[in-house]
Structure 1
């Protein structure tokens, strides 16, 4: 049996590996390329949310912001006098208005027009056409079908979105504390303020995107296109942040107490951002 020099053998193997890598660079980097390009592809597929084009949708789209603004103005004095009781009692009304807006105006998660990557990226499966024929969503239905032809029920989706909104509220509470909100002296104030922020800004996004990770990654990275839902989120966050400016000023006004100005900025910013996001000025555009 001939002797084999281990040094020579290892050198030959190394040279062969280098030559193979040079001749086929895509084979060595194919997995990394696929992994790194997938988030960009998912973000690119996210489209702006298209509202339902029905008379009821158009009426609700303009009526709900007016009712939210009227509710806040009507209860402003009560908010200054007793913030906790006022925010607690008005939260169900705000949630009901947001649910009415979602049911009448927004497409359901996964349906055409919801903007998510999953609705348009799923390849047709055998039997889809046969099972879904005659059961497609109408202009005002707001529901899409799954692979088995079952159509989501919008009230159930709205209820599940409300549960997700409630689950997200503690995280907003923690974020507000990290940004300087009083934790030990005003925990109820901060928690209710976070709940209002979640119901206004996050609930519509949960309704149209569900738990689509690609859509939420785009929203978190500020790469989502502007529409009514994303514009409301950006406006609400910016308004709440700007609302903190008057608090440290030594004007000795009753409305400077926590979190009156935060809530005022939140509502004003949300309504303005939602209006601009759904207008021709910003709709479909990105940061």
Structure 2
């Protein structure tokens, strides 16, 4: 699975259709001091809060996941509004060399609020699909439905909400995401890391270790949170940022 540079190879192949015709770029974070601060402390807050709630999660997964949804959602919303360009806004446009980005105007604030609400609605609609995927990958089908739904809601908030916020319903961008051909950046890397972490998190569940934390879906949620943070850092690594995954 080699990585290719979009500057030297702008398309997948001559037959790749719309993706090769539309050159996309990695997400550029907003340039304010607050954006830089929030971008760095958001992963630390996520992991710290998860660490301190881990024992409670093991003891009562449904109660803990349910009461953690709002704090996670608020943190993700704050991260998106402060750090990320909203889909369709002037902040989302690629600047020309030497061009400076203008400050936020009143319309931009309104646009951010609308985009946030719309992204949250879209994120909520993906929870049943993520739940179905978890069941296909081995989650309990006739029991633990609440556990699976709540873990899916957390995965959707972590992986998909930021993508909805920056891409909206842009079909070309989502085709790139679905085909793993989007340029690597912190947002796409975090989404990939979250999905991969959740998948790897299921590995310890069937092992005969007789540990309380092996019960569904503790390890899956742990993997999702850990994978999100790791993927975010890897996606921002200078040597990888902007490159694409070549599956052929």
TM-score of the superposition, structure 1-length normalised?
0.74
Aligned residue pair count: 226
Q: 2:19 aligns with which of 40, 44, 60?
A: 40
Greater C-alpha radius of gyration: 1
Choose from 92, 95, 102 the match for 2:80: 102
Q: Does structure 1 retain, via aligned residues, the 8 Å contact 2:19–2:172?
A: no
CA distance in 1, matches of 2:107, 2:160: 20
Where does residue 286 of structure 1 map in the other structure? 244
2:52 aligned with 1:74: yes
In structure 2, the residue matched to 1:198 is 156
Bigger RCO (CA 8 Å, 6+ sep): 2
C-alpha contact (below 8 Å) 2:127/2:153 kept by paired residues: yes
SS of 1:184 mapped into structure 2: coil
Tell me the equivalent position of 2:138.
180
1:277 maps onto 2:235 in alignment: yes
**1-structure distance, mates of 2:106, 2:199:** 33
SS for the counterpart of 1:275 is helix
The offset of 1:111, in angstroms, is 3.1
In structure 1, distance between residues paired with 2:24 and 2:170: 10
What is residue 115 of structure 2 aligned with on the other side? 157
- TM-score w.r.t. the length of structure 2 is 0.86
Distance (Å, rounded) in 2 between the aligned partners of 1:142 and 1:258: 46
- Give the gaps of 5 or more residues in structure 2: 1-14, 95-99
Match of 1:56 in 2: 34
Unaligned runs of 5+ residues in structure 1 are 1-35, 121-135, 145-150
Question: What is the aligned partner in structure 2 of residue 239 from structure 1?
Answer: 197
| 53 and 143 in structure 1: CA distance in 2 versus 1, 3 angstrom threshold | farther
How far the C-alpha of 1:41 sits from its partner, in A, is 3.1
Deviations 1:183-216 (A, max 9, x none): 2111110111110000000000000000000000
Aligned partners of 1:236 and 1:266 also within 8 Å: yes
User: Quick one: structure 1 residues 179 and 37, their matched pair in 2 at CA, closer, same or farther if it must change by over 3 Å?
Assistant: closer
- 3-state SS of 1:107 partner: coil
**Displacement of 1:281 after TM fit?**
2.9
| Aligned counterparts, 1:212-227, within 5 A | 212-227=170-185
d(CA) in 1 for partners of 2:17, 2:110: 28
